[in-house]
Structure 1
């Protein structure tokens, strides 16, 4: 008896779910692209902080030649210090960053490239 009651109940929930997830106009939709913009503040900074700052700190350590603690420092590293090349090198290659670590996931590298291609927005 209980099994017979579950089917109509599930069917009813399914219909409510489908009908409740419709739009009458495009103005009801959220602009997803507003969340996808790759900027230093909302994307790149966290990648740098989590992967580069152990060596590229305010006072660089372990032979790191510069700090990457600010937008200006990271921007300069992209424009004049070959940061994009260094993070793109294959695992184990000479000069690959992070030095002695695991290469960044390609998705993170792609985000940094997208940031650079879009003019390095802060």
Structure 2
């Protein structure tokens, strides 16, 4: 009889400890009060999400490395990087294989471009 109550208690405890986080809870807006720079803001985004394929040399069909400030600046200016990370077209979502970068990170890259693609 005691084991029956113990099982009930464990089942209730398991369900009570569950939680649900939606994408908005996990990707809060990043508010940058200073100017966005590559060193302070963008490098971490690229290193975390892009370097797997955009290493030097690039792998998995990536067309160019994104390992330096110059590489990333060139990709924004000449290779339409922002359009690539912003697309919702299933076949072209970056990072390759998805999911698409959270909008707050895309917005940070856009802000970096609008503020002049500063390095540091």
TM-score, normalising length: structure 2 = 0.69
Q: Does 1:73 align with 2:48?
A: no
Equivalent residues of 2:56, 2:67 under 8 A apart: yes
Q: 5 Å matches for 1:1-122?
A: 33=33, 36-90=34-88, 93-122=90-119
Q: Which SS does the other structure have where 1:94 is aligned?
A: helix
Ranked by relative contact order (alpha carbons within 8 Å, sequence separation 6 or more), the top structure is 2
* Coordinate RMSD, CA, aligned: 1.4
Number of matched residues? 88
Gaps of 5+ in 1: 1-31
Q: Which runs of 5+ in 2 are unaligned?
A: 1-31
Q: Displacement of 1:99 after TM fit?
A: 1.1
Q: Aligned equivalents of 1:93 and 1:37: distance in 2? A: 32
- Report the Cα distance in structure 2 between the residues aligned to 1:78 and 1:71, rounded to whole angstroms: 11
Residue by residue, what CA displacement relative to the aligned partner does 1:52-81 show, whole Å, maximum 9, x if unpaired?
Answer: 000000110000000000000000000011
TM-score, structure 1 normalization? 0.68
**Structure 1 residue 97: deviation in Å?**
1.0
Query: Is the radius of gyration larger for structure 1 or structure 2?
Result: 1
* 1:37 Cα offset (Å): 2.3
- Conserved 8 A contact 2:36-2:111: yes
